[in-house]
Amino acid sequence: MILTITPNPAVDHTIHFDEPLEPGVVHRTDDAVFTAGGKGINVAKYVSALDVEATASGFLGGHFGTFVRDRLDADGVPSDFVNIDDHTRLNTTVLADDGEYKLNHNGPHIVDSDVDELVEAAQANEPDTLLVGGSLPRGMALESVDRLARAGDWRTAVDMGGKYLAELDADYFVCKPNRSELAEATGRTVETNEDAIAAAEELRDGQFEYVLASLGADGAVLVTEDEILSAPALDVDVVDTVGAGDAILSGFLAALEHGMSDSDALRMGILTAARVVGVAGTRVPHLEDVLTNETRVDVATVRTR
Ligand SMILES: O=P(O)(O)OC[C@@]1(O)O[C@H](CO)[C@@H](O)[C@@H]1O
């Protein structure tokens, strides 16, 4: 079972305009979607749709917290959140003619006893894999992530900003940086795929068993102890890219839970992301056939290590 921890969940509000945004203009539309979001919550939703048992945890408070909990219940995703006094945030994605704008609030304040409760909740769930995903709310120190990683007999995946990845201290199963997070975590310039591979290798050799780097339109790279694999992105119609990184990680984790190989896990990540970018916001697309999908993804061995 995968327990996902989202320290800073959000209601994801995705709103679409058929015109460019202009300052001083009131833009109006009927096209708005609200979903339960935050990186760990998205992974719980996507892996559940990929037939893997998952529970979503983290901190929730206020009306938006209630919305997130209710939406997960309605979608049949089990949850076990710690209630906090402050309010869960609302993050907005504006899809306009001139591009995709992502507006994230920093989120609530939490206190030390909230973290203690979260660690207890993780222990009570006894997962085999724990995933900590997304930013930290104010008042939660990075050491709390190491504490969660060390609090039980599970493997821990992290999907966090590059600065966080560089400072983590425990040993981790997998991290999923994007291009800018790789650069931030290693202090390297990451422009080409070769740069990304070099940075991912450096990061892996620090403390991660796998580094799964999501490279947007260039697909993804997986660095393991023995080899470096790469896979291109699929050529699909993109509604928005929100949740694409969470989807790559979800496909990867779900495949490993199903006993698949590293190469098939990378392929599943690419397939899942190709579906998620085709729906607005962090809605769960149709994923049932991804496990058996015949769609070709050319996973290549870049080299052995
Ligand atoms: O502010 P964070 O925690 O870094 O990211 C939060 C977030 O942007 O990430 C998800 C997509 O990956 C969204 O569901 C959510 O709004």
CA of residue 106 to ligand 1 center, whole Å? 10
- Please identify, by atom number, the ligand 1 atom nearest to the C-alpha of residue 160: 4
> What pLDDT does 296 receive?
84
User: What is the signed CA dihedral for 62, 65, 71, 72, rounded to 10 degrees?
Assistant: -150
Q: At what angle do helices 262-276 and 244-257 cross, to 10 degrees?
A: 140
Spans of all domains in the chain: 161-304
Q: At what angle do helices 39-49 and 62-74 cross, to 10 degrees?
A: 10
> What pLDDT does 235 receive?
93
Give the C-alpha distances (Å, rounded to integers) separating 200 from 2, 185, 188, 287.
24, 9, 10, 28
> What pLDDT does 293 receive?
67
- Please identify, by atom number, the ligand 1 atom nearest to the C-alpha of residue 281: 14
CA of residue 92 to ligand 1 center, whole Å? 10
104 Cβ inside 6 Å of ligand 1: yes
> Rounded to two decimals, what is the model's pTM?
0.96
42 Cβ inside 6 Å of ligand 1: yes
Give me the residues of the chain with pLDDT under 50, please.
none
Minimum CA distance residue for ligand 1 atom 5? 134
- Please identify, by atom number, the ligand 1 atom nearest to the C-alpha of residue 133: 3
CA of residue 241 to ligand 1 center, whole Å? 11
> What pLDDT does 289 receive?
85
Topology of 161-304 in CATH? Answer: UDP-N-acetylmuramoyl-L-alanine:D-glutamate ligase (3.40.1190)
Known catalytic residue: 246? Answer: yes
CA of residue 9 to ligand 1 center, whole Å? 8
How far apart (Å, rounded) are the C-alpha atoms in residues 217 and 233?
Answer: 6
The count of other CB atoms within 10 Å of the CB of residue 228 is 19
- Please identify, by atom number, the ligand 1 atom nearest to the C-alpha of residue 134: 3
Pocket test for ligand 1, best of 164, 242, 272, 284 (most atoms within 8 A of CB): 242
CA of residue 11 to ligand 1 center, whole Å? 10
From 146, 246, 262, 264, active-site residue: 246
Return the percent helix, strand and coil in the chain, to nearest 5. 35, 25, 40
108 Rama sector, left if φ>0, alpha if ψ -120 to 50, beta otherwise: beta
